[in-house]
A and B are shown apart, each in its own frame.
Chain A
Amino acid sequence: MTKYFGSLAIKHPDDLIFGYAPKPVSCGQGLTIGVGQVFPEINFTLPPMLINESNWNEVLSHYHNICENVLARAEKLRVPGIVMEFEHLPPMSMKPELGAEITSLIKNYLLEFYRRTGIPNALRVTVVDLRDADHPPLLRSGQRWEQTREAFILSAVAGADILSIESVGGKEVHDQALMYSDLSGIVASLGILACRDMGWLWDEIVDICKEYDVVPGGDTACGFSNTAMQMAGQGLLPATLSALVRAASAPRSLVAYEHGAIGPSKDCAYEGPIIKAITGVPISMEGKSSCCAHFSPLGNIAGAMADLWSNESVQNIKLLSGTAPEAFLELLAYDCRLFNIAENKNESRMYRDLLVRSDLEQSPEALMLEPQTVLRIARSIAQCPNPYTQTRNAIFTAFKSLQDAVDSNQLKLPSREQTWWSKIPGLLAQIPENENEAIEYLITTYHGVFNPQAYGL
């Protein structure tokens, strides 16, 4: 059953703020997200080591160690609540019973933590989209999908409170389109291929969540717009292109909510504020405190509308103050204290605006998270039900916002960005106007790169 969000859940920029979501989510052990407080969402991974049968006990001991240390520090810091995200590594989804064993291990720690401290908490489990291993991916059938589906089911059975994924439908085309700055390919791969796959995939995930009473969290355009942002961060792609891709990826991530996801969204979905404005669901975001995992030009502004605040991922290695996961939990906890005291003292809008302004003029990508711009893009998406048109609208609206910022000197582009930016109107003019033309473009230009049947084409 598809729900079309024809209007915005949040219509005024003042209401687009951290801690509050019109549709809060209750999950896990007494945790309600989106009713005024921001909670840390700690994520972690293994240090450099292989995962195999001979060292499985060593793998498990890392997760025991992470849980013990993170929760001990959470208690010391008196966090008002906490989400732990267990993001599968590929072998944990390829052999879903491995992922389930760790899920159960973490869940037991969280249950005991709640019993002992009363601190609300929840466990998010993010499954690897193994369908990416086939080229081109089959998506809706085959061993890879069966493994992915099994990983969801076993995670739910083992105690996941929230289920998420970073799905990859459309990525095989988007990767190429991105590398060649083919805006027509970017819009078609996101607005047609990715949206079609998201609709199919999230029907499946939501069914599993209903059967096992788990919250269907959401998806992220990580493989699309974060790829662009990371390449821009390394100077390989224009930051303005990365910003346009961010806006264009929002309709794709929106599909999860149209098909029954209720949030909280995934932390690396920087398109989250647009999703929050349209749907009203709480969102997880990551910024400066995810510097352990990757560079971001959005360190402060990413927090302006967050309901969960994440560190993306950190290896379980020893630092002077303890292990890295517990150290990063401490960072998140202090960030959240600041969010929550600002709310408590009726200073939340002032604090949000400082977060926004501190990053706004530094990068085109930051402009995509500015509340007014978020609402402009969100409106352009919500005004029509067709995902392709939504995606096309989003990229044109983002371009207009960036152009306004450039024209008003709010945003200064370096010279090679300017050279590239001058080509954009020509590239935008080439984007097919409707879905049929765009499908024709995909089939002609990306023949052999994707499997049309995998998308119901």
Chain B
Amino acid sequence: MDLARLVELGKIDKNTPHPPALIGQDGVLELTQLAIKKEIKAQIILNEGLMPGMHAIGEKLSRGEVFITDMLIAARAMNVALGQLKPFFLSGEIQAKGTIVLGTVKGDLHDIGKNLVKMIMEGDGWEVKDLGTDVSEEQFVEAVNNSTDAIVGISALLTTTMLHMGSAVQRLRENNPNTKIYIGGAPVSQSFCEEIGADGYFSNPHGLARELRKAPKLLI
């Protein structure tokens, strides 16, 4: 079975019980190690071996054929492979997709939606800086100042906290007008996104990753 298919199925390594049909068989870990041993270029392992698996499961999720669980299990396997490729990221042989700063706005303690976005983005090869919940405008700005090319994802679940998104967007824009800012959460909408001047709104946790896969250059 090829690497992409193993990623899609979420088969981490030989010892993991998932999926039951592949118990005892090599997983993403072993095949990535083998590819590195065979001196296949790391960028090729990533682009032609691993990413097609994430794309395949992402498309199935978009078509409603699988559940987000399936995508997260794939992302978990992908992360194991990315761990093996870490030296190549550090040496510059592989270019990381980028960094995303994530957080739930000030006064809001809800985090499951943000955490879903985090797991999916990590699985898609992004470095995620998770600021947690109850994040102030200043914390968002500080995080972006530490990663100047980062994009930002802001979440809110309450009608009494969503307005903090507007002030966060404003502060981020004042700090760096080019920072791309995306929002999500139950009370927000596309029109609210436009109203506060954010760059995009996604109604589901995989929407951002999907959009960025289609048009990564939009970010630059």
Contacts and interface: CB of A to CB of B under 8 A. Distances in A.
Interface of A: 45-51, 89-91, 128, 130, 132-133, 135, 175, 179-181, 227, 231, 234-238, 241, 315, 416, 420, 423, 426, 430
Contact of A234 (B158, B160, B204): B204
B61 to A, nearest CB: 9
B92 interface: no
Contacts of B164: 50
Given A179-B116, A416-B64, A426-B20, A132 B204 contact: no
30 contacts: A46-B160, A48-B159, A48-B162, A50-B161, A50-B163, A50-B164, A51-B107, A51-B160, A89-B158, A90-B134, A90-B161, A132-B109, A132-B133, A133-B109, A135-B133, A175-B111, A175-B112, A175-B115, A179-B68, A179-B72, A179-B116, A180-B72, A180-B73, A180-B76, A181-B69, A236-B68, A236-B205, A237-B68, A237-B69, A423-B20
Contacts of B65: 416
Contacts of B158: 89-90
Nearest to A227: B112
B160 A236 contact: no
Nearest to A315: B159
4 cross-chain pairs, A with B, having the tightest CB-CB distances, nearest first: A236-B68, A181-B69, A48-B159, A132-B109
Given A45-B160, A51-B107, A179-B72, A236 B133 contact: no
A157 B51 CA distance: 58
A47 B164 CA distance: 14
B160 A48 contact: yes
B83 interface: no
A235 B63 CA distance: 11
Contacts of B66: 416
Contacts of B24: none
B123 to A, nearest CB: 12
A63 to B, nearest CB: 13
Given A132-B109, A133-B133, A180 B159 contact: no
A130 B110 CA distance: 11
Contacts of B73: 180-181
Given A48-B163, A234-B204, 14 more contacts: A45-B159, A49-B163, A89-B158, A90-B109, A179-B116, A180-B72, A180-B76, A181-B69, A236-B68, A238-B69, A315-B159, A416-B65, A420-B67, A430-B17
